[in-house]
Amino acid sequence: MDGPLFAGSILAFVIAAVFHYYARFRIAAVFALVFWIGIAQVMWQTMSPWWAIPVYTIFAIVPATLLLVAAIDSRRGFFNLPTFYFIPLSVLAGCVLVLSSILGVIF
């Protein structure tokens, strides 16, 4: 069960990145949500809860909150420069989630 779930999570991550690149943000958000749910399940099955919960909090919940701030601020543009960096930060955090899940599978 871990292999197909992990592969599906990575596929959802890649699809979300591609749709985001082509400015289809709603579709990208749906696939990002699928990725976050899938990778949380993979982390829960393969890692110790003492590692899975803090890693998921730091690299999934915090970037999702930053993306929410960027989405709310996109109409006003008050925090335009910081929110410009939240999107690449969230993609990098997704990559760290994938890598930490791989480490959970290996060890």
Tokens of 51: 């590692």
pLDDT digits (tens, 9 = 90+) for 22-57: 877 778 778 888 888 888 888 888 888 888 888 888
Residue 69 has pLDDT above 80, yes or no: no
Evaluate the CA torsion angle 48, 53, 87, 34 in order and state its sign.
Answer: positive
- Break the chain into its structural domains and give their ranges: 2-106
| 73: Cβ contacts below 8 Å, ≥ 6 apart | 79, 80, 83
Separation of alpha carbons 23 and 17, rounded Å? 10
Closest CA to 104 of 53, 61, 46: 46
pTM of the predicted model as reported, rounded to 2 decimal places: 0.75
Separation of alpha carbons 17 and 22, rounded Å? 9
